[in-house]
Structures are given as structure tokens and as C-alpha cells.
Structure 1
Amino acid sequence: MKITSLEIIKVPPSWVWLKIHTDTEHFGLGEPYLENHPETVIAEVNRLEPFLIGEDPTQVEKLWKVMYESGNGYFGGPIKLSAISGIDMALWDLAGKAAGVPVYQMLGGKIFDRIKVYRATGGQLPWAVEPGQPYSAGKPPQTNLKANDPEIYREAARNLVEEWGYRALKMHVSPGDGLEATSSVDQLAEFFAAGKEGTIEGGRNVGVDHVDLAIDIHNPNPAIGRQLIDALAPHRPLFIEEPMPLERVDGLAQAIEGTNATIAAGERWMGKHIFFDALSRGLLSVVQPDIAHAGGITETKKIAIMAEAAYAKLAIHCPLSPLAFAAAIQVDACTPNFLVQEHNEVNDTRPTEGCFAGQTVIGAGFFKEPFAMDPAGFVSTPEGPGLGVELDPEGMEKIMAMPWQSARG
């Protein structure tokens, strides 16, 4: 089997997919994408294509190295590694299809039959959009609750647990990178406390003893990060995500000095080396490589192995399309230190009829068999070859007729 061509597919609302063609009936799908930079990643995929034509797509490690080392000594970076990530997913998809087994089987075999999924929560009630629409095409249900009131955070979390079926959530707050944010630290901790009350109430109403709640504080100044960690730690979040600017690992060390909170980071770190730097210093409880940016399945699995040796858990960052989510599930399923899997709320649907009525479904319209969440908040690990998903021709026809935009949907 030899690679014959690479095809870019712009999938609404804003995704970029890649289809690797071969001289056989097999093809592979991946997602080479960087938020709000689609055309530059597409250009990098086109630059890398000549290195792949005529090669055996099952030699994934060899091709990964060739792509990474191309460029006259310039390794890594978000553009190159996002392109490599999407190509890598497609290569693993091809390798699995050629062997007739899921990717996780080629990475050591399945540990988890089901994968726990979490969703974003915050200061708005949740809503769903049609497959292929951006999240902004919908709007939150009307409520008498006011914005920036702890009660809206409580109600959003309760709703997602009680009505949508989630058993893990992550709250998002954005204090900014200025020192002025010190005046909002106590309020943001109050929002989190209210969200936690919502998870407890929602769980109690459906007979669930515990719901995980994490928080992403979105890269504040390290001084503000320390203040937020101190304010949040007594509420025992599952993890506190990225309490520092992303550029410097020593900034993470400054932000978390003296804390016993569980700290997560890594969604915009490219490649294994920076993760090694953070893990070797004992700075992380949770690693969050983005499978579409950090180097694909190949590199994400290596990061997970390093994390296991450092007693850290894996929670793959995944705010993109259901295809990246499917790739992440393959790594999750064979990773002993897996914690929980993120997904993008734009991919949620809530069918009112049919076999999925009343469930939260991820990837409807994109896949023939989308990921349906069970009452415990898990999705089943697919059994099919490669990434384990097959495109839904009817659904994709409707999606592809919708507008595509360069800003992430």
C-alpha cells in the first residue's frame, strides 16, 4: 500500500479534515487544524505532501520523523505540528484499516470499554445546534437569572448533570492577564463554589453520588494564578487548568509554588519536549496535550507514557470536530493513566426521537454511529478499524452544504 495523494476537506462550521488516498481501497482521515489559522496549516500540509507520496502509510513513526525534521533545521511550532498531527491521525486510521483493527489495538490494546467525557460550563445555560452550525448559531434558553450571578453558574451545572447526563464538567473563567484581575478573584471562586453546588444538586436529583468539576482559568498573570489557586483549592476542583502564561514552564512553577491543588496544563504545548520539562519538575497532576496540535496520536501517546512515570493523568484537550474526538478516544482507551476526555459543545445534539432519544450524542450527522453518552456520563470505545468511525453520507451532505468559516465554530 502506497500513499497517492492528500486531499483537504473544509468541513462546516470551521473544521479542516484531511483524507489520505492510497493505491488501494483504503483511505485515512485526520484533522490538521489550528484555531483561526486554517490556511497556514493547509499550506504546511501541502508542503509536507511530497515527503509522503509513494510511501507506506503504515510506517507511521518513520513518516512522523521525516515530517518533523523537514524544514532546514526548524523543528516543531504550532503550524508544523498541527499539520503533522492531522496527517498522523490519518496515517493511524489507514494503518488500522489495513490491519482490520482499531488504533488502540496497535498501541497495546484496550484498557477501557467506556470513556468518561466532560463538557464546558459557565455563566450561561447550555444549548445545542444542528450538526455543521457554529455554536453562535444558537442561544441559551431564556432565564430570569442574571449574568455574573453565582446562581447562573449553579443552574448551568445542575442542568448539564440532571438533564444532559454529564458526570464531569469544566468551568471556564477568564480573568485576563492583567494585575487588575485581583479584584475578581473572590468572585470567580464564588462562581466555582456555586457550580459545584449545582453538580451536587443535579447529581442528587438523578441518584448520582459524585460529579467531577474542574476549572480552566485561562493563563492569567502568575501572581493572579497563585491567588486563584489559593481561593479555589478549598473547593477541591478535579483540576485547575493553566494558571499561568503558556510560554514558560518556569512561570508554571512560580504560579503553583506551595500549593497542593491538582494542576493541569498543556493544551497549547507542541510536542513531547516541553511536557518532559514540566513533568520532570513535578509541576503537573494532569497533562492536556491537544491531539490536533501536539503531534497527533503518535506524540500524544508518548506524552501519556511520560506522564504515567511522573504520576500524572491524561486529559486530552479536544475543542475541535468529532473527528479529533474520535482520535482522542483511541489513545484514551489504551492509556492506563487516562482521567477524562474533553469535547466541544458545538458537537452535542439532543435527539427527541429515534434510538438516541433523550441522550446526549456527540458527532451526529458526521458519523453513522455517533458517540452516545450513557447514564453514567461515558461513551463506548468503538470497535471498528482505524479511528473506529465511518462517515454518514446523508448527514455529511447536509453539513457540507452549510457555510464554512475560518474562525473556530
Structure 2
Amino acid sequence: MRITRLELLKVPPSWVWVRIHTDRGLYGLGEPYLEDHPEVVIAEVNRLAPLLIGEDPTRLEHLWKKMYESGNGYRGGPVKMSAISGIDMALWDLTGKAYGLPVHKLLGGSYRGRVKVYRACHDEQPYTVAPGMPYRPSPHRLAPEEASGRAPERMARAAETLLGWDFRCLKLHFGPADTLERDADLDGIVECVEAVRRAVGREIGLAVDIHNTHLSRAQQLIRRFEPLGLLFVEEPLPPERIDLLRRVVDAAPVPVAAGERWMGKWAFREALEAGAAVLQPDLAHAGGFTELRKIAAMAEASYASVAPHCPLSPLSFAASIQFGAAVPNFLIQEHNEVNDSREGGVTRIGAGYMKAPFELGPDGCVGVPQTPGLGFEPDPSGFEAIMRLPWRQSRG
């Protein structure tokens, strides 16, 4: 079996997929995409494509290294790594189809049959959008009943709604100041987390994302989170200075998570040395399955967990579920809430895109597909309708 061509698809609302074709009629799907930078990743996929034509798609390590080392000595970076990641995802999908096995079997077999998923929670009621539509076609305006009360009460109500949607772990999002010149309402942030913890009880997992704040702010916040029993605190620092993570970890009574914008195993090695408890590589950015399995193995050797980042389309989510099924030190899976739908009291992820969307069970988990490859089969009618919608450069 040989690769014959790479076909790029612009999938609404803003995703980019690659379909790798072969001379046997099999194809693999992947997601080479970088938020708000789609066209440069498309250009990089087109640059890499000639390196793949005529190659055996099942030579996964060989092709990954060939792509990574191409480009006159320039290695890594978000554009190149996102392109490689999406291509690698498609190659694993193809390899699984060629051998008649789901990707998790290629990764070592099923460690778990169901994968736990968490959902973002904000200070407004959760909502869904039609498949292929952006998060908000126009600026969102809170309904009167949503806007009533203070932020902690609104966030607690949103969390209670998501429990009714069968989520058993939530991540709360905040944006404290990233410089000391700007005020940071740390009291308000802590109050919100306390309100949600009271509303959902101690049995529900809670994580907090503080979105790359200032080192001092992160240290202050994390100390105050200690009594709240958090699963982890995410992205306490800007991504450039991984070494500074040690200063947060040393003062943190809560597990520290990071890594959604790091590319390749080398950055994650540095984070493990700094004491990160939870790594968050993104299959569509950090190097695809070929690189993430190495990152997970390094984490396991450091007694750290992996909780993959996934803010993209249902295709990346399906790939992440295959990864989570096989990795022993997997913790929990993120997903993009724009892909949620609700019908008949059931929460589905990927409806419209997938012939068999994921269904969230009362345990807060989704089942692992057993069909060959990623287990992602496009919904013929739904996907055709989605592809007629406008495509945007900005994520979601």
C-alpha cells in the first residue's frame, strides 16, 4: 500500500482536515490545524505532502522523523508540528484500517473501555449550537434569568445544569491578570470555585484553568484553592518559561497541569523535571499519536498523568478517545463544547459530523469505538449539510 495524495478539507465552522489517499482505496483522516492560523498550516501540509507520496503509510516512525527533519534544519514550532500532528493522526487511522484494528489496539490494547470526559463551565447557562455553526454567530447576550445574581451564583447554576447533562467533571475558566500592573480579582475567583464546589458536592471532579497568569498571582490563587479538593489547576504561567513551573509546583498544595501549547516531547520532559503532575499535550499540535505515546511514557516514569487538550473538531476528539483508551496513566479527556448536542435527554458529542456520535453516559464517560482506525465515520447527510455552511479562519 502506497500514499497517492493528500486532500485538504475546510470543515465548518473553522476546522481543517486532511484525507490521505492510497492506491488500495483506503484513506485516513486527521486534523492539521492551528487556532486562528489555518492557512499557514495548510501551506505546511502542502510542503510536506511530496515527502509522503509513494511511501508506505504504516511506517509511522519513519514518516514522522522524515517530516520533522525536513526544512533545511528548522525543526518544531507550532505551524510545522500542527501539520505533522494532523498528518500523523491520519496515518494512524489508515494503519488501523489496513490491519482491521482500532488505533487503541495498535497502541497496546484497551486499558479502559470507557473514557471520562470533562466540560468547560462558565458563569452562564451552557448551550449548544447546530453542527457546523460557530460558538456564537453574534455577541451573546445573557437572558434575564441567566444574568441575575452574582458570578458565583451563576457559575453554580451552570454547574448544576451540566450535572444534569451527565458530566461528572467540570473545568472552571478564569482570566486573572498576567501582569502586576493590572488588578486581579482573586477573591472573586476563589468565591466562584467555592460556590461551584458547594453546588456539586465532593464527588464531582473540579479543575480550574487560570489561563497563563502572572507567577505571583498563580502562587496566591493555588494556595487558596487547597481546601477545595481540585483535580488540578491548569496553565498557571505563560508557556514560554517552562523552567519557572518549578516555583509554582514547589508552593502548590494542588496538582499543577500544563502543556496545551507545547510541541514535541522535549518541552514535556522539561515540564516533568519542573514537577508538573498533569501533562496536557494536544494530539493535533504536540505531534500526533507517534509523539504523544512517548510523552505519556515519560510522564508515567515521573508518576505524572496525562489529560489531553482538545479544543477542536469531533475528529480530534475521536482520536483522543483512542489514545485515552490505551494509556495507563491517562486521567481525563477535554472536549470542545461547540460539538455538544442534546436530544432526548442524552448528551452527544460529534452529532452531524459522525455517523455514530459519542454518547455521554451517567458515569460521565463515553464508550471507545471498536471499528478500525479512529472509529470516525462521517455522517453522509449531516456532513454534507455542514460542508455547505460558511467556513471561518477564527476557531469556532
Q: Does 1:403 align with 2:390?
A: yes
CA deviation map 1:173-217 (0-9, x unaligned): 0113121455411111111111222222xxxxxxxx711010100
Cα distance between partner residues in 1 of 2:245 and 2:143:
38
Cα distance between partner residues in 2 of 1:149 and 1:383:
42
Unmatched 5+ residue regions in structure 2?
Answer: none
Change (3 A) 1:385 1:191: same
Cα distance between partner residues in 2 of 1:24 and 1:81:
28
Cα distance between partner residues in 1 of 2:56 and 2:352:
32
- Contact 2:219 2:251 (C-alpha < 8 Å) held by counterparts: no
Q: Which residue of 2 aligns with 1:394?
A: 381
- Contact 2:44 2:79 (C-alpha < 8 Å) held by counterparts: yes
Q: Which residue of 2 aligns with 1:246?
A: 239
Task: Give the alignment's TM-score, normalised by structure 2.
Answer: 0.97
Secondary structure in 2 aligned to 1:166? coil
| Aligned residue runs from structure 1 range 99-110, under 5 A | 99-110=99-110
Secondary structure in 2 aligned to 1:135? coil
Whichever residue aligns with residue 150 of structure 1, its letter is P
Secondary structure in 2 aligned to 1:178? coil
Q: Which residue of 2 aligns with 1:59?
A: 59
Secondary structure in 2 aligned to 1:4? strand
Q: CA deviation at 1:289?
A: 0.2
Unmatched 5+ residue regions in structure 1?
Answer: 201-208, 352-356
Q: Which residue of 2 aligns with 1:157?
A: 159
Whichever residue aligns with residue 152 of structure 2, its letter is P
Cα distance between partner residues in 1 of 2:48 and 2:226:
45
Secondary structure in 2 aligned to 1:405? coil
Secondary structure in 2 aligned to 1:214? strand
CA deviation map 1:27-58 (0-9, x unaligned): 00000000000000000000000100000000
Q: Which residue of 1 aligns with 2:291?
A: 299
Whichever residue aligns with residue 189 of structure 1, its letter is V
After TM superposition, the structure 1 stretch with the greater mean CA deviation from structure 2, 303-312 or 245-254, is: 245-254
Secondary structure in 1 aligned to 2:185? helix
Whichever residue aligns with residue 157 of structure 2, its letter is E
Q: Which residue of 2 aligns with 1:371?
A: 358
Cα distance between partner residues in 1 of 2:250 and 2:113:
37
Cα distance between partner residues in 1 of 2:187 and 2:319:
38
Cα distance between partner residues in 2 of 1:121 and 1:179:
27
| Aligned residue runs from structure 1 range 5-404, under 5 A | 5-137=5-137, 142-146=144-148, 149-161=151-163, 163-180=164-181, 183-200=184-201, 210-281=203-274, 283-351=275-343, 357-404=344-391
Cα distance between partner residues in 2 of 1:111 and 1:182:
46
RMSD over equivalenced CA pairs, Å? 1.4
Cα distance between partner residues in 1 of 2:345 and 2:146:
25
Percent identity (aligned): 55
Whichever residue aligns with residue 320 of structure 2, its letter is A
- Contact 1:123 1:147 (C-alpha < 8 Å) held by counterparts: no
Cα distance between partner residues in 1 of 2:276 and 2:381:
44
Q: CA deviation at 1:144?
A: 5.0
Q: CA deviation at 1:147?
A: 7.2
Task: Give the alignment's TM-score, normalised by structure 1.
Answer: 0.94
- Contact 1:111 1:334 (C-alpha < 8 Å) held by counterparts: yes
Whichever residue aligns with residue 396 of structure 1, its letter is F
- Contact 2:322 2:374 (C-alpha < 8 Å) held by counterparts: yes
Q: CA deviation at 1:254?
A: 2.2
Cα distance between partner residues in 1 of 2:181 and 2:257:
24
